[in-house]
Structure 1
Amino acid sequence: AQALALHITRTAHKYARDPHQRTPWSVASCEQGHSWARFFAKGGGKMDDCTVIVALVQEVEE
């Protein structure tokens, strides 16, 4: 679970730094017409917004 969480977090961080990656944050900020959104118009994400929780669910034999 820890390795999966780390992989997902690193991928999310990579996408957030990429100005050409369309993310939910970049799309929503542009749709809202924020004055600062023009700096992120092509993509990217919010750098302080990368949180991942991984849970493994297993069946318990009785």
Structure 2
Amino acid sequence: MGAKAQALALHITRTAHKYARDPHQRTPWSVASCEQGHSWARFFAKGGGKMDDCTVIVALVQEVEE
């Protein structure tokens, strides 16, 4: 079971990193930056994310048989 959680966390992390690097990907950060009128936001073509640390926590919950 731990391997499934690790694989899921890795997939989520890689997807987040991919979206952050894509200047055409609409992300909450890019949309909010453009709405706030930041002068540097024009370089992101209203897309991309904020390159930052990415932490993912995955929890698997399962029923225990008695």
Q: TM-score range by the shorter chain?
A: 0.7 to 0.9
* Contact 2:29 2:49 survives alignment (8 Å): yes
**Which one has a bigger Cα radius of gyration?**
2
**Is 2:30–2:46's contact at 8 Å kept on the other side of the alignment?**
yes
The RMSD of aligned alpha carbons is: 1.3
| Structure 1 alignment gaps of length 5 or more | none
Structure 1 partner of 2:40: 36
Please, what TM-score do these two structures have when normalized by structure 2?
0.82
**In the alignment, does 2:21 pair up with 1:21?**
no
Q: CA deviation at 1:49?
A: 4.5
The 1:55–1:61 alpha-carbon spacing in structure 2 relative to 1, beyond 3 Å, is same
Runs of 4+ in 1 over 3 A off after TM superposition: none
Shift of 1:10: 0.4
TM-score (norm 1): 0.86
Identity across matched positions, percent: 100
Asked if the contact 1:5–1:52 (Cα under 8 Å) also holds between the matched residues in 2, the reply is yes
How many residue pairs get matched?
Answer: 62
